[in-house]
C-alpha cells in the first residue's frame, strides 16, 4: 500500500476549499444580467385553481415577468416523469397522474408551485409573488397513507382509489402453506415515519438561454446532471441534448433528494428563453426545502413471521402501504418495491416470502429515495419482527439471529436477489465482543440504581447497492441503465485527469478516486484531478446515489486504467525496444523484464504524446482511455449494529448510551472517509428513531414540522459520546467487481433505526414504540406500566 | 423582509424620541425574536431602534442583597460572570442554557424579558427570584410584569433599563428543552429567599410564566423534596402541542420541581 493508495487514511483534498469558504455552489454563481425567480406556492393541501390574477403583481417594482401553467402549455413543456414502471399484480401499469412543472387546474399539496415571478432582485420577486392573486376551490384532502384508499379525497383522476399500484413479490401460496406448518407466528404493525432530507445546501438553479447559439445552460444542485439533461431534453422537450448543458458544481449534500428532476429547476431554464435570454436564478429558502424537497419513508406495514419448533424461520408475509405523496417523483415507484421488498430476506434463510405493496397518493410532498431508499424500511420491518419473535420465543436475540443466518454463498433468496458473499456470524461475533454484550446485565443494574431503564437492541442489516446490471433493472421496469462511465486522460507530463459520471456532493470522490489512480499508476494524488458534474466536460454518466460510486463508478475508472496501462506498456516497449509481453509495470515504473532498463510513468506519457519513438500507424498517439462499466450484480454490504439506550423514567428522555457498528464493506479505499459515512449514516438513523418526523396536520393538511423550531434535526448532543460510538469492520471480498468493493453510504441510516427501537422496547419491556421515540412518546408508553405498578 | 430605517441612539431619551417620531417603529435589544419575525413577513416595522449602543446600557453590579443587571447585558455576559455565579449560580446557569453560543452573544436580558415569550427562560428567573424590572419611567415587580403571551406591563415607548434580582439563600433552574427548538418545553425556577419564603416559577408550560402557590407553601415550610409529595401540577390550561401534551407538561413540572429542590444551592 502506498501512502496515498487504496486503504490509506488520506485527508480529503476537497476540504480545503470547503472549510475556507472557497467552494463554488450553485448559489455562489452569478451570471451577467441575472434575474431572480420566486415561486407562488399553494397554501392548500388540495384545491382547484379557479383563476390566477397576475395583473397587480406584474406592475410591482422590478418584476420582469410572471408565468403560470398557461405559458408552460403554450411552449409545450412536458411534465415531470417517474422513470420506473411498476406493474400491479393484475398486470396493469402504475397510475401516474400528470405532474406539470407549474400546477395546472389543481394543487395537490401545501407547497405545490402555482406560478413563478421573475424580477430584478429576489426581494422584488418575493414581494410580487405575495401580490399574485390565486382563487382556489378547496377540495377534501388526505395526508395519511393508511387512509388513502378509504378517503373521498381523490388526488388524481387516473387513480380512483388513490392507488398507484398494487404490487407483489414472492410466492403467496407457498408462503401460506409454510405458515400452516408453523409452530409459532409473530405479528407486528409498524409505521416507518416520514422524513425530510434537509441537505445543508438547499436546492438551487440558474437557467440561462443563449439567444445567439440557441443553447441552454442549467446550473443546478443535482446528484446526476446527465440524467437531468436527458430528462429535460427528452421528456420536458426543452431542447435536444447537444443544446443543453447541465452543470452540477459543488453540491452540499443530497441524501437522495437531489437525484430527482423538480419543477423549479426546469422552470428556471425554460423561463430564461421566455424573458429573452437573461439568466434566471432560484435558491430555495429553508421553508421551501421543507415543503417541496422529496421526502422519505412513510410506510404503514403489517408483517407476520412464521417459525418452526426449533426457532427456524419458515416464512414471512408483509403488507405495506407506501405513501407516494401527491405526485410520482422521478424514481419514487421503485423505492417501496424493488429497493424494499427484495431486501425482506435480510441476512436470514427464509424459504418463503410474500409481500404486497399498495403505493398510494396523499396530499403531501412527493416521497422518493432518501438515504437507503426502501432498504431502511425493509430492515426496520424485518429487524423489528425478528427481535420481537426472539423475545416471544424467549431465545436470546443474538442467538435467534445466528440460528437463522445464511451461511452458504452464493445464496438465492425468494425475492430476486442472489447474495454473492458475506460472513454474518463474523460480524455478529465482533459486535457482541466490541459492545461487551455479556456484561449488559451489570450495566442494566447500574443504570437502574440511577433511576434509568437500560435496554439493548440489535440490527443485522443487509443492503443491496450498486444497482445493476442494466438489462436486469430494465426488465424490472427501470427507464434507464445503471452503469457508470470514466475517462482517464493522462497528460503529457504524466499528471492525470479522471472524468467520471459519478457525482460528489460530500462523498469525497476527489480524494478516493485519486487514491485509486495513485495506487494503480504510482502517481501522487496531488497530480490527479477528478472532473465531474458537467455534461459538456464529462461523457454520459449516471450520477451518484445508492452507494454506487465506489462499486460501479470506481470500477469504470479501474477498467479505463487497465486500458491506460496496456497502452502505456506498448509505448514503453516500443521506446525501450522490447516486446510488450516483457514489460512489467509496478509503482509507476515500466521495466524490461530481467534488465535494469526502465522508464518512469511520466516519461512514457510524454513519449505517448510526442510520438517520436514508435510507429504511429501501429500505436495511436496519446494516452486517454474510456470505459463504460455495467456491473454483473448488485453488491451486498451487511453488518451487525448493537445499540444500548438509557431511558429516564421521570421524563421519558432516551439517551444513546453506546452504539457499536460492525460492517462488511469489502475493500475500503479510505477508512477515514468510510468511518465518517458510518457515523453520519448512524446519526441519520438515530435521527429517524428518536428525533425526526414530518408531521402533516390531518385537519388542515399543513406541514406542522416546517422549520427547525418543530422538525428535530439530529444534534451532536443527541449522539453517543465518541468513546461509546464504536466502529468495527469485517471483510469478505465482493466478487462482482475487480476492486472487491461494496458500498458504505447508507449502511448507518439503514441499520440504526431498528437497533435503537429494539433497545428502547427492550428497556421499557413493551412490544412496540413509534418512531420518533420522543420523550413524550416514551413517557406515554410508560404510563400503562406505571399504572399497573401502582 | 420590508425596508426599514435603522437607528442606533446613544441615550434612552433619544431612543424614546425616535420611536415616537416613527410611523410604526420597534425597539431592538438583540433581535432574536424580532428579526426572524420580520424575515417571515409577520412583522414589518418602519423603524428599528437598536438599543444596544446606548451608553451604560449593559453591565452587572452585585451588591449585598441584589444582583443588578443592565438591560443590554448579553446572555453570555451573565452566564460567564464570576460575580453572578457566586451570588446566584442558578441565574448564570440559566443564561448559559439560552439558545446556542451565537444567540447568547447577541441576545440580551432586557430583550428577552420585554418579549415575554411563554417558552423563554429569563421570565422564570424574574418571577422565581421576585425581581424588580426597572424602566425609564418606574419600577415594576416581576409579579405584575408578565401579563400574558408576548404581553407585558410595559407601556408604549417604555424601555427596560435594568433588572434587580434579590440574592436568595439558594436557588435552582431546571430546564427540559423542546427537543427541536431547545426553548423550554418546561422550565422551573425555584428560589428560597433570604426570608425563607420560597418562590416556584414555571415557564414553557402555560401561556405565560406563572407561580405554583401550593409548591411554594409546602417548600416554605420545609425546603425538601419530600415536601412536594402529593402536590401535582394541574394539566388544565397548559399548552398542548406535538412535542408535549398538557398532561406531560404537568408531569414535567413535578419532576423538574423535585430536581430543582435537590440541586438548589
Q: pLDDT digit string (tens) for B177-215?
A: 999 999 999 999 999 999 999 999 999 999 999 999 999
pLDDT for residue A789: 74
Which three three-digit cell numbers place residue A302? 403489517
Q: Strand A638-648 relative to strand B198-203: parallel, antiparallel, unpaired?
A: unpaired
Judging contacts by C-beta atoms under 8 Å, the chain A residues touching residue B255 are 650-651
Share of chain A above pLDDT 70, in %: 100
Q: How far is B24 from chain A (nearest CA, A)?
A: 20
pLDDT for residue A605: 98
Instruction: State which residue of chain B sits closest to A705, comparing Cα positions.
Output: B242
Judging contacts by C-beta atoms under 8 Å, the chain B residues touching residue A787 are none
Which three three-digit cell numbers place residue A183? 409452530
- Which residue matches cell numbers 411554594? B216
* B131, pLDDT greater than 90: yes
From the list A115, A133, A134, the residue with the least C-alpha distance to A49 is A134
The string of DSSP letters for A523-582 reads --GGGEEEE-SBTTTS-S---S-TT-IIIIIIHHHHHHHHHHHHHHHHHHHHHTTS-GGG
Cα separation values, B34 from A336, B139, B229, Å = 44, 25, 41
- What average pLDDT does range A336-352 have in this prediction? 98
Task: Tell me if A775 and B251 make a contact (CB, 8 A cut-off).
Answer: no
pLDDT for residue A2: 67
Q: 121-160 in A: which are within 8 Å (CB) of B?
A: 123, 130
* A157, pLDDT greater than 60: yes
Chain B contact present for A53, CB below 8 A? no
Q: Is A761 helix (H, G, I), strand (E, B) or coil?
A: helix
Chain B contact present for A92, CB below 8 A? no
pLDDT for residue B257: 98
Whether the upstream peptide bond of residue A522 has omega within 30° of 0, thus cis, is no
pLDDT for residue A1: 46
pLDDT for residue A395: 98
Chain B contact present for A776, CB below 8 A? yes
Q: Between A205 and A788, whose confidence is greater?
A: A205
Chain B contact present for A570, CB below 8 A? no
When the pLDDT of each residue in chain B is averaged and rounded to a whole number, the result is: 96
User: Which residue(s) pair with A715 in the sheet?
Assistant: none
Core vs surface per residue A133-152: b (16+ CB within 10 A) or e? ebebeebebbbbbebbbebe
User: Could you give phi then psi for residue A163, rounded to 5 degrees?
Assistant: -95, 120
User: Nearest by CB to A650, which of B1, B41, B255?
Assistant: B255
d(CA A514, CA A527) in angstroms, rounded, equals: 9
- What average pLDDT does range A370-382 have in this prediction? 97
- What average pLDDT does range A451-468 have in this prediction? 95
Instruction: State which residue of chain B sits closest to A286, comparing Cα positions.
Output: B40
Instruction: State which residue of chain A sits closest to B259, comparing Cα positions.
Output: A650
d(CA A541, CA A227) in angstroms, rounded, equals: 8
Q: What is the DSSP letter of B32?
A: T
Task: Tell me if A651 and B243 make a contact (CB, 8 A cut-off).
Answer: no
Instruction: State which residue of chain A sits closest to B252, comparing Cα positions.
Output: A651
User: Nearest by CB to A774, which of B1, B179, B255?
Assistant: B179
Judging contacts by C-beta atoms under 8 Å, the chain A residues touching residue B251 are 779
d(CA B9, CA B183) in angstroms, rounded, equals: 31
- For A441, residues 6+ apart whose C-beta sits below 8 A from its C-beta are none
From the list A362, A371, A196, the residue with the least C-alpha distance to A289 is A196
- Which residue matches cell numbers 438583540? B30
CB A331 within 8 A of CB A235: no
Task: Tell me if B243 and A776 make a contact (CB, 8 A cut-off).
Answer: yes
B86-92 — which CB contacts under 8 Å span 24+ positions? B86/B62, B87/B62, B87/B167, B88/B129, B88/B165, B88/B167, B88/B168, B88/B171, B89/B171, B89/B265, B90/B125, B90/B171, B90/B172, B90/B173, B90/B189, B90/B191, B90/B264, B90/B265, B91/B67, B91/B125, B91/B129, B91/B165, B91/B171, B91/B173
Task: Tell me if A712 and B179 make a contact (CB, 8 A cut-off).
Answer: yes
Q: How far is B255 from chain A (nearest CA, A)?
A: 7
Task: Tell me if B242 and A779 make a contact (CB, 8 A cut-off).
Answer: no
Q: How far is A708 from chain B (nearest CA, A)?
A: 6
d(CA A384, CA A392) in angstroms, rounded, equals: 12
Which three three-digit cell numbers place residue A372? 437507503
Q: What is the DSSP letter of A87?
A: B
Chain B contact present for A775, CB below 8 A? yes
CB A645 within 8 A of CB A757: no
* A316, pLDDT greater than 50: yes
CB A570 within 8 A of CB A590: no
From the list B91, B44, B49, the residue with the least C-alpha distance to B66 is B91
CB A687 within 8 A of CB A757: no
DSSP-H helix ranges across A181-246: 225-234
Task: Tell me if B176 and A130 make a contact (CB, 8 A cut-off).
Answer: no
User: Nearest by CB to B248, which of A691, A695, A779?
Assistant: A779
Chain B contact present for A779, CB below 8 A? yes
- Which residue matches cell numbers 462523498? A507
CB A194 within 8 A of CB A295: yes
d(CA A112, CA A364) in angstroms, rounded, equals: 9
From the list A136, A142, A157, the residue with the least C-alpha distance to A50 is A136
Task: Tell me if A651 and B180 make a contact (CB, 8 A cut-off).
Answer: no
Residue B134: CB atoms within 10 A of its CB come to 17
Q: How far is B130 from chain A (nearest CA, A)?
A: 28
Q: How far is A692 from chain B (nearest CA, A)?
A: 9
User: Nearest by CB to A710, which of B41, B176, B180?
Assistant: B180
User: Which residue(s) pair with B198 in the sheet?
Assistant: B192
CB B190 within 8 A of CB B198: yes
CB A364 within 8 A of CB A329: no
Cα dihedral across residues B119, B122, B127, B129: positive or negative: positive
DSSP-H helix ranges across A338-480: 375-392, 397-404, 424-434, 440-449, 470-475
Given phi > 0 = left and psi -120 to 50 = alpha, else beta, which region is A733? beta
Q: If 0-12 CB within 10 Å is exposed, 13-18 middle and 19+ buried, where does residue A751 land?
A: buried
From the list A488, A493, A495, A519, the residue with the least C-alpha distance to A603 is A493
Q: How far is A135 from chain B (nearest CA, A)?
A: 22
pLDDT for residue A784: 85
Best of B242, B250, B260 to disrupt the A interface by mutation (most A CBs within 10 Å)? Answer: B242
d(CA B47, CA B4) in angstroms, rounded, equals: 5
User: Nearest by CB to A776, which of B41, B244, B255?
Assistant: B244
Q: How far is B263 from chain A (nearest CA, A)?
A: 16
A573-627: per-residue pLDDT in tens?
999 999 999 999 999 999 999 999 999 999 999 999 999 999 999 999 999 999 9
d(CA B164, CA B112) in angstroms, rounded, equals: 15
pLDDT for residue A787: 78
Residue B69: CB atoms within 10 A of its CB come to 27
Given phi > 0 = left and psi -120 to 50 = alpha, else beta, which region is A557? alpha
Q: Strand A63-67 relative to strand A725-730: parallel, antiparallel, unpaired?
A: unpaired
Chain B contact present for A697, CB below 8 A? no
Q: Is B145 helix (H, G, I), strand (E, B) or coil?
A: helix
When the pLDDT of each residue in chain A is averaged and rounded to a whole number, the result is: 97
Residues of B contacting chain A (CB within 8 angstroms): 1, 41, 176, 179-181, 242-245, 248, 251-252, 255
Chain B contact present for A700, CB below 8 A? no
Instruction: State which residue of chain A sits closest to B244, comparing Cα positions.
Output: A776
Amino acid at each position: 500500500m502506498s501512502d496515498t493508495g487504496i486503504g490509506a487514511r488520506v485527508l480529503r483534498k476537497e476540504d480545503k476549499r470547503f472549510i475556507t469558504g472557497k467552494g463554488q455552489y450553485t448559489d455562489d454563481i452569478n451570471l451577467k444580467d441575472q434575474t431572480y425567480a420566486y415561486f407562488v406556492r399553494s397554501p392548500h393541501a388540495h384545491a382547484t385553481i379557479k383563476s390566477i390574477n397576475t395583473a397587480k403583481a406584474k406592475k410591482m417594482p422590478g418584476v420582469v415577468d410572471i408565468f403560470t401553467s398557461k405559458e408552460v402549455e403554450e411552449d409545450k413543456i412536458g411534465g415531470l416523469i417517474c422513470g420506473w414502471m411498476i406493474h400491479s399484480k393484475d398486470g396493469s401499469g402504475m397510475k401516474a397522474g400528470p405532474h406539470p412543472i407549474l400546477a395546472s387546474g389543481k394543487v395537490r399539496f401545501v407547497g405545490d408551485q402555482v406560478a413563478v415571478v421573475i424580477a430584478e432582485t429576489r426581494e422584488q420577486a418575493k414581494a410580487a409573488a405575495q401580490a399574485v392573486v390565486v382563487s382556489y376551490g378547496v377540495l377534501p384532502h388526505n395526508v395519511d397513507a393508511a387512509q388513502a384508499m378509504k378517503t373521498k379525497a381523490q388526488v388524481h383522476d387516473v387513480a380512483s382509489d388513490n392507488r398507484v399500484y398494487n404490487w407483489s413479490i414472492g410466492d403467496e401460496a407457498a408462503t401460506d402453506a409454510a405458515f400452516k406448518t408453523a409452530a409459532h407466528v409473530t405479528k407486528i404493525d409498524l409505521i416507518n415515519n416520514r422524513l425530510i432530507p434537509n441537505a445543508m445546501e438547499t436546492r438551487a438553479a440558474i437557467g440561462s438561454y443563449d439567444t445567439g447559439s440557441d443553447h441552454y445552460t442549467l446550473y443546478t444542485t443535482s446528484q446526476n446532471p446527465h440524467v437531468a439533461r436527458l430528462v429535460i431534453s427528452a421528456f420536458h422537450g426543452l431542447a435536444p441534448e447537444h443544446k443543453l448543458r447541465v452543470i452540477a458544481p459543488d453540491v452540499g449534500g443530497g441524501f437522495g433528494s437531489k437525484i430527482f428532476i423538480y419543477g423549479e429547476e426546469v422552470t428556471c431554464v425554460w423561463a430564461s428563453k421566455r424573458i429573452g435570454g437573461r439568466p434566471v436564478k432560484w435558491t430555495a429558502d429553508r421553508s421551501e426545502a421543507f415543503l417541496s424537497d422529496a421526502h422519505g419513508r412513510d410506510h404503514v406495514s403489517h408483517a407476520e413471521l412464521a417459525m418452526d419448533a426449533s426457532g427456524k424461520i419458515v416464512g414471512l408475509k408483509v403488507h405495506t402501504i407506501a405513501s407516494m405523496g401527491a405526485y410520482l417523483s422521478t424514481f419514487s415507484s421503485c423505492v417501496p418495491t424493488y429497493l424494499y421488498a427484495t431486501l425482506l430476506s435480510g441476512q436470514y434463510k427464509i424459504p418463503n416470502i410474500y409481500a404486497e405493496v399498495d403505493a398510494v397518493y396523499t396530499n403531501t410532498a412527493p416521497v422518493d429515495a432518501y438515504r437507503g431508499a426502501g432498504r431502511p424500511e425493509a430492515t426496520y420491518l424485518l429487524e423489528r419482527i425478528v427481535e420481537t419473535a426472539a423475545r416471544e420465543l424467549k431465545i436470546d436475540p443474538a442467538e435467534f439471529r445466528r440460528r437463522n443466518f445464511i451461511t452458504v454463498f452464493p445464496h438465492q433468496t425468494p425475492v430476486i436477489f442472489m447474495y454473492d458473499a458475506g460472513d454474518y456470524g463474523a460480524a455478529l461475533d465482533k459486535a457482541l465482543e466490541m459492545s461487551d454484550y455479556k456484561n449488559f446485565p451489570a450495566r442494566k443494574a447500574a443504570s437502574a440504581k440511577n433511576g434509568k431503564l437500560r435496554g439493548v437492541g440489535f440490527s443485522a442489516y443487509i443492503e443491496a447497492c450498486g444497482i445493476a446490471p442494466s438489462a436486469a433493472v430494465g426488465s424490472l421496469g427501470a427507464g434507464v441503465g445503471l452503469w457508470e462511465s470514466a475517462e482517464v486522460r493522462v497528460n503529457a507530463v504524466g499528471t492525470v485527469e479522471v472524468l467520471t459520471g459519478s457525482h460528489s456532493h460530500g462523498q469525497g470522490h476527489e480524494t478516493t478516486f485519486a487514491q485509486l489512480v495513485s495506487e494503480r499508476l504510482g502517481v501522487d494524488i496531488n497530480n490527479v484531478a477528478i472532473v465531474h458534474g458537467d455534461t459538456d466536460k464529462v461523457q454520459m454518466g449516471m450520477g451518484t446515489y445508492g452507494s454506487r460510486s465506489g462499486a460501479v463508478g470506481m470500477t469504470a475508472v479501474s477498467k479505463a486504467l487497465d486500458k491506460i496501462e496496456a497502452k502505456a506498456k506498448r509505448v514503453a516497449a516500443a521506446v525501450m525496444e522490447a516486446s510488450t509481453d516483457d514489460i512489467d509495470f509496478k509503482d509507476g515504473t515500466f521495466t524490461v523484464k530481467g534488465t535494469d532498463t526502465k522508464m518512469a510513468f511520466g516519461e512514457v506519457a510524454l513519449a505517448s504524446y510526442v510520438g517520436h519513438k514508435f510507429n504511429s500507424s501501429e500505436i495511436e498517439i496519446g494516452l486517454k482511455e474510456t470505459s463504460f462499466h455495467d456491473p454483473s450484480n448488485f453488491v451486498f454490504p451487511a453488518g451487525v449494529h448493537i445499540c444500548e439506550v438509557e431511558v429516564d423514567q421521570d421524563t421519558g428522555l432516551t439517551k444513546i448510551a453506546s452504539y457499536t457498528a460492525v460492517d462488511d464493506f469489502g475493500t475500503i479505499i479510505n477508512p477515514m472517509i468510510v468511518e465518517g459515512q458510518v457515523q453520519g449514516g448512524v446519526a441519520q438513523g438515530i435521527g429517524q428513531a428518536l428525533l425526526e418526523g414530518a408531521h402533516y396536520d390531518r385537519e388542515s393538511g399543513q406541514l406542522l414540522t416546517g422549520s427547525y423550531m418543530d422538525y428535530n434535526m439530529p444534534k451532536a448532543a443527541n449522539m453517543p459520546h465518541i468513546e461509546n460510538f464504536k466502529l468495527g469492520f469485517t471483510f469478505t471480498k465482493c466478487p462482482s467487481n475487480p476492486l472487491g468493493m461494496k458500498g458504505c453510504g447508507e449502511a448507518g441510516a439503514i441499520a440504526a433505526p431498528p437497533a435503537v427501537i429494539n433497545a428502547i422496547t427492550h428497556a421499557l419491556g413493551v412490544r412496540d414504540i413509534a418512531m420518533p421515540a420522543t420523550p413524550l412518546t416514551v413517557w406515554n408508553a410508560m404510563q400503562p406500566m406505571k399504572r399497573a405498578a401502582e | 423582509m420590508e425596508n426599514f430605517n435603522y437607528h442606533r441612539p446613544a441615550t434612552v431619551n433619544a431612543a424614546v424620541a425616535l420611536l415616537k417620531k416613527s410611523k410604526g417603529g420597534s425597539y431592538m435589544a438583540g433581535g432574536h425574536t424580532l428579526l426572524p419575525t420580520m424575515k417571515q413577513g409577520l412583522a414589518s416595522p418602519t423603524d428599528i431602534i437598536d438599543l444596544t449602543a446606548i451608553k451604560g446600557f449593559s453591565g452587572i453590579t452585585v451588591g449585598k442583597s441584589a444582583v443588578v443587571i443592565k438591560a443590554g447585558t448579553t446572555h453570555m455576559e451573565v452566564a460567564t460572570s464570576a460575580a453572578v455565579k457566586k451570588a446566584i449560580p442558578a441565574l448564570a446557569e440559566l443564561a448559559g442554557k439560552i439558545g446556542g453560543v451565537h444567540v447568547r452573544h447577541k441576545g440580551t436580558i432586557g430583550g428577552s424579558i420585554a418579549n415575554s415569550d411563554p417558552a423563554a427562560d429569563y421570565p422564570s428567573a424574574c418571577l422565581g427570584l421576585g425581581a424588580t424590572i426597572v424602566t425609564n419611567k418606574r419600577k415594576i415587580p416581576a409579579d405584575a410584569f408578565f401579563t400574558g403571551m408576548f404581553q407585558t406591563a410595559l407601556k408604549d415607548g417604555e424601555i427596560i433599563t435594568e433588572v434587580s434580582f434579590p440574592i436568595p439563600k439558594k436557588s435552582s433552574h431546571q430546564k427540559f428543552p423542546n427537543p427541536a427548538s431547545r426553548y423550554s418545553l418546561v422550565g422551573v425556577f425555584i428560589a428560597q429567599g433570604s426570608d425563607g419564603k420560597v418562590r416556584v416559577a414555571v415557564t414553557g408550560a402555560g401561556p405565560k410564566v406563572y407561580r405554583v402557590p401550593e409548591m411554594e407553601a409546602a417548600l416554605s415550610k420545609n425546603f425538601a423534596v419530600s415536601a412536594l409529595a402529593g402536590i401535582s401540577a394541574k394539566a388544565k390550561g397548559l399548552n398542548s402541542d406535538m412535542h408535549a401534551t398538557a398532561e406531560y407538561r404537568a408531569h414535567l413540572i413535578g419532576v423538574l420541581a423535585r430536581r430543582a429542590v435537590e440541586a438548589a444551592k
